[in-house]
Amino acid sequence: MQIIEKRKIFYIISLIIIIPGIVSLFVQGLNLGIDFKGGSLLHYKIDAAVSAPDVRHALTELDMSKGIEVQKSGDEFYIRTPELNQEQTQAVTQKLNDSFKNVELLGAESVGATIGKEITRDAFLSVLIACVLILLYITVRFEFTFGLAAVMALLHDVMVVLGIFSIFQWEVNSAFIAAILTVVGYSINDTIVIFDRIRENLRMKRREDRPTLINRSIMQTMNRSINTVLTTMLPLITLMLFGGASIKIFVLTMLIGFVCGTYSSIFIASPLWYEMKTRAA
């Protein structure tokens, strides 16, 4: 398979996905959840037979119902809403009392917009620090060009995921950031496997040109890359179907990110390394 020779095709495919996402990020931005914009967290104890969708449905008649997140733990429910005043909190409690039995408010707290900004800053810094540490690690273990190509492939994955979430206006919350960091770890692991095979083949000093060597290295690890992404996607798809609304953003982010990470490891990272080595020669 001539991956290096056809690298411009893969670059174009990536640009077709990334450019609309960048335009969407500038035009409509991200649909930030309560974790970033600030809001209220209400903690209730309700009959264990009640489900999270039941609670969410009961609150749909309230004016503040848009953006409500409900999580269940045993007979306790955590309800995240846009920031509520005391009267609105009482209205939520009253609505739950009208809909269910044995409703008890255990606690209520608010997260202001200032804290939301801090979470946004910390999320950005966490991804940036991860990229810097990855660059340092690969530079020490391999060489700087390998590290730079790997980080560029990671940024490619992050931009694809952010762009898709912006286009479809799916909500971005703290679980999204955790999923992004998981995707970064998965993608870099797959990329390192391919780079390690390229390095081993370079040490053998066979009489073949660089594109042929890189193509052979990628094909030698192709089965491993495909099998890995398939085995990780199966439980994620199961969680997407049966895991409930509270983890759907986390699972959806990882599904998109894992597929994109496998694609970038094979079709983006190695061609980028080839480009840099060719121009430096």
Look up the CATH number of the domain holding residue 82.
3.30.70.3220
Asked whether residue 169 falls in the same domain as residue 81, the answer is no
11 lies in a domain? yes
Global pTM value: 0.80
Long-range contacts of 3-10, Cβ-Cβ distance < 8 Å, separation of 24 or more? 3/214, 3/215, 3/218, 3/266, 3/267, 3/270, 3/271, 4/210, 4/211, 4/214, 4/215, 4/270, 4/271, 4/274, 5/211, 5/215, 7/267, 7/271, 7/274, 7/275, 10/267, 10/268, 10/271
pLDDT tens track for 2-58: 899 999 999 999 999 999 999 999 998 888 877 777 778 888 888 878 888 888 888
Q: So what's the pLDDT on residue 280?
A: 75
Do 18 and 157 fall within a single domain? Answer: yes
Mean pLDDT of 219-226: 90
b/e per residue 120-156 (b: at least 16 CB within 10 A): beebeeebeebbeebbeebeeebeebbbbbbbbbbeb
Percent of the chain past pLDDT 70, that is, above it, reads 93
Residue 248 in contact with residue 71, Cβ under 8 Å? no
Are 136 and 189 contained in the same domain?
yes
Q: For residue 177, tell me if it sits in a domain.
A: yes
Same domain, 133 and 236: yes
* Domain extent at residue 266: 7-33+115-280
Residue 2 in domain: no
- Between 64 and 221, name the one with better pLDDT: 221
* 127 shares its domain with 264: yes
Assigned token pair, 219: 């094909």
Q: Can you give the pLDDT at residue 257?
A: 92
Residue at which a domain ends, from 71, 91, 111 = 111
Q: How far is it, in rounded angstroms, from Cα 144 to Cα 148?
A: 6
